Amino acid sequence: MADLSINFAGIRSPNPFWLASAPPTNLGSMVERAFDAGWGGAVWKTIGAPAVNVSSRLASIDNGAMRLAGLNNIELISDRSVEVNLKEIYACKKKYPDNAVIVSLMVESNREAWHDIVKRTQDTGADGLELNFGCPHGMSERGMGSAMGQVPEYTCMVTEWVMEAAEIPVIVKLTPNVTDIIPPAMAAFRGGTNAISLINTINSLMGVDIDTFVPYPNVNGKAAHGGYCGPAVKPIALNMVAEIARNETINVPISGIGGISTWRDAVEFMLLGAGSVQVCTAVMHYGYRIVEDMIDGLNNYLDEKGFASVNDIIGLSVPRVVDWSDLDLNYKVVANVNEEKCVQCNLCYVACEDGAHQSFEFVESNGKRYPRVIEEECVGCNLCSLICPSPGAITMQRRDDGTSPETWRERTS
């Protein structure tokens, strides 16, 4: 089998699967059970001045039969003292020397406070530190969390403070609640960080009970915005990871976070530049043992593709992510209907007629009425193939000659 071990910014781990800083890493006993299940590493739930949490804390949206397609939380950092957390971190690392133990930190914007928490934490034997510059609720209102990550000058300043005291690798965790991920990533890089992790949760309000008029989650008749995570945020996370990975100036490892539920999700993040991946919502949904399938799936994938190490796939897809102006304007695909697989639901016709480019007509075939693509009208948008409920009934087929690629940048230069 392929080698799954990684060396992420100097942090060694038996595999790239880490638990993200969240409820599944709240206690030493929880992290130890996770390591027993097979997780390569864990980022301890953020420690700092103990928070007071509210009840209730979670809300979700479903996608058909899929529960927790998106999860919102208003839980804050650890509600246990720094001393208790540090004692458990020390014990956990001593018991599991081969697993990666990274500690998430958040304190007030004060150089001495950061120096103190860094020194105390690294005395536990932890392998690395993760600076929580991304929490979008509760802590940001106190001048911490995303209040740090949304202002590049603050990101750089606090990172510099930490690097003055740190003797173990430092990872800066970025917030997605910005218009452009590059400025805060650049700021962390300028501050000297050893690595970057992203994304933290996205600002959200999950919905409203239309009978009581109270938004979710209900805290005695009121609600507050929270952090959004789960499978629904994966595309946003992939984009931000790729943006940093393809920026030649920001030359640090990336830990990918956001909607990772399967080994396939993990592979996508690694192909786009992530050297490790962090998981939270899927564990809250299904438990620690999902890592067994992740490890088996990744092993099988690497073997089938002929890769000797998981490190061989990191960043392979990055060169294929370009600006829109560098896409081939002459590349042409059109939809094609396979009558043998068509179930005659006519969704393709309706979707194209009302939501796309009116490229379908109906034809009679073997006494039945089938949709057919009007190729000269089809722009190859993919909508019909995406909404078709019958696998293989609609495929996209290439129609250009492939000999004369041209980009918008070339056409307008």
Q: What is the pLDDT of residues 316-362, one digit of tens each?
A: 999 999 999 999 999 999 999 999 999 999 999 999 999 999 999 99
| Number of domains, the chain | 2
Last residue of a domain, one of 269, 302, 320: 320
- Same domain for 399 and 314? no
What percentage of the chain's residues is helix, strand, coil (to nearest 5)? 35, 25, 40
Strands 128-132 and 170-173, bridge-based pairing: parallel
116, 251: one domain? yes
Condensed to tens digits (0 to 9), the pLDDT of residues 109-159 reads 999 999 999 999 999 999 999 999 988 876 777 777 888 889 999 999 999
Q: Catalogue the active-site residues.
A: 135
CATH code: domain of residue 95: 3.20.20.70
Q: What is the mean pLDDT of residues 271-295?
A: 98
Report the helix count and the strand count for the chain, using DSSP H and E.
Answer: 13, 18
Query: Are residues 164 and 282 located together in one domain of the fold?
Result: yes
Instruction: Compute the distance between CA of residue 44 and CA of residue 29 in angstroms, rounded to an integer.
Output: 12
**Is residue 1 in a domain?**
no
Give the residue numbers spanning the domain of 199. Answer: 6-320
Do 282 and 374 fall into the same domain?
A: no
pLDDT score for 3: 98
DSSP class of 77: S
Is residue 64 a part of any domain in this protein?
yes
With a cut of 80, say whether residue 71 has pLDDT above it: yes
Whether residue 75 is contained in a domain is answered as: yes
106 shares a domain with 17:
yes
Which residues, at least 6 apart from 387, have a Cβ–Cβ distance to it below 8 Å? 347, 348, 351
Token pair for residue 254?
A: 């990336």
Q: Residue 138's pLDDT is what? A: 67
Say whether both 296 and 397 belong to one domain. no
Domain check: are 332 and 306 in the same one? no
Tell me: do 206 and 61 sit in the same domain.
yes
Residue 300: inside a domain, yes or no?
Answer: yes
Residue 373 falls inside a structural domain: yes
What are 159-177's pLDDT values in tens digits?
Answer: 999 999 999 999 999 999 9
CB 118 within 8 A of CB 144: no
- Are 272 and 350 within one domain? no
Q: Is residue 111 one of the residues assigned to a domain?
A: yes
Please check whether residue 145 lies inside any domain of the structure.
yes
Mean pLDDT of 29-50: 97
Examine the domain organization and report whether 285 and 184 are in the same domain. Answer: yes
Residue 210 sits in the same domain as residue 282:
yes
pLDDT tens-digit series, residues 205-244: 999 999 999 999 999 999 999 999 999 999 999 999 999 9
User: Taking residues 392-410, what's their average pLDDT?
Assistant: 94
Whichever domain contains 340, its CATH number is: 3.30.70.20
User: Is the domain of 178 the same as that of 301?
Assistant: yes
Q: Give the mean pLDDT of the chain.
A: 96
In the listed set 286, 320, 354, which residue is the last one of a domain according to the structure? Answer: 320
> Per the structure block, which two tokens stand in for 190?
């300028």
Domain termination residue (choose one: 293, 320, 347): 320
Examine residue 285 and state whether it is found in any structural domain, yes or no: yes
Alpha helices, DSSP H only, in 167-262? 182-190, 234-245
The DSSP letter of residue 326 is G
User: What are the C-alpha distances in Å from 286 to residues 58, 229, 279, 281?
Assistant: 16, 15, 12, 9
